């Protein structure tokens, strides 16, 4: 497989209900909207020399399609699968099928919450998981993604 080269192509995938960030359960997820998070990611990506695609869907099949479309078009996927984290074999299989490096993110620390949120169908196939730092997990993941791709591209 050819090694990816700059500019790194990053896809950020957001699962169900994340379109309601800023409105939904603000005590858990905070007041920052998904549009604001996208803007922060775009600014950072530009600074780091990366291209960013940022998508959201409330539908499992649509998320599978978005992940499949990344094949050959993106270098790395950052994903907040939201509730599908804990249920979706289809999203896991799509990530395995495209065989791109994956970083899993969550605004909340899922390991401090209800037991059903402790299980992730993505964690063991991801490079790593970033959780619990609110909207900052997105920019942390963009930074980690670029560092990973730089390291993987060799000297
Ligand atoms: C979430 C955590 C999930 O358990 C939850 O279903 C979400 C958001 C997070 O970002 O903290 O919708 O992925």
Q: What is the pLDDT along the chain (155 residues), one digit of tens a residue?
A: 566 777 999 999 999 999 999 999 999 999 999 999 999 999 999 999 999 999 999 999 999 999 999 999 999 999 999 999 999 999 999 999 999 999 999 999 999 999 999 999 999 999 999 999 999 999 999 999 999 999 999 87
pTM of this prediction? Answer: 0.96
Alpha carbon 132 to chain centroid, angstroms: 14
Domain edges within the chain: 14-153
As separate numbers, helices (DSSP H) first and strands (DSSP E) second, the chain gives 5, 5
Q: What is the pLDDT of residue 69?
A: 98
Give the residue, by CA position, lying nearest to ligand 1 atom 1. 82
Q: What is the pLDDT of residue 155?
A: 72
Task: Find the 85 Cα to ligand 1 centroid distance in Å.
Answer: 8
Q: Which residues are catalytic?
A: 29, 106
Q: What is the pLDDT of residue 144?
A: 98
In DSSP terms, 14 is beta-bridged to 56, 80
Kindly state if the Cβ of 80 falls inside 6 Å of ligand 1.
Answer: yes
Kindly state if the Cβ of 83 falls inside 6 Å of ligand 1.
Answer: yes
- Dihedrals phi, psi of 13, to nearest 5 degrees: -110, 130
Q: What is the pLDDT of residue 6?
A: 78
Closest CA to 51 of 30, 28, 70: 70
- Per CATH, the homologous superfamily of domain 14-153 is Dehydroquinase, class II (3.40.50.9100)
Task: Find the 53 Cα to ligand 1 centroid distance in Å.
Answer: 20
- How many residues does this entry show for the chain? 155
Q: What is the pLDDT of residue 3?
A: 66
Q: Which segments of the chain are extended strands (E)?
A: 8-14, 50-56, 76-80, 102-106, 128-131
Give the residue, by CA position, lying nearest to ligand 1 atom 12. 82
Torsion over CA: 57, 60, 62, 64 (sign): positive
């Amino acid at each position: 497989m050819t090694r990816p080269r700059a500019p790194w192509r990053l896809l950020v995938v957001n699962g169900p209900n994340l379109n309601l960030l800023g409105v939904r359960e603000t005590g858990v997820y905070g007041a920052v909207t998904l549009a604001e998070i996208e803007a922060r990611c775009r600014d950072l990506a530009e600074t780091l020399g990366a291209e960013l695609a940022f998508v959201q869907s409330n539908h499992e099949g649509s998320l599978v399609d978005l992940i499949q479309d990344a094949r050959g078009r993106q270098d790395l996927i950052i994903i907040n699968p939201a509730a599908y984290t804990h249920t979706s074999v289809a999203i896991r299989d799509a990530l395995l099928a495209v065989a791109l490096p994956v970083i899993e993110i969550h605004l909340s620390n899922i390991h401090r919450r209800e037991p059903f949120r402790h299980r992730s169908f993505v964690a063991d196939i991801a490079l790593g998981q970033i959780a619990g730092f609110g909207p900052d997990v997105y920019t942390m993941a963009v930074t980690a993604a670029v560092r990973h791709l730089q390291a993987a591209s060799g000297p």
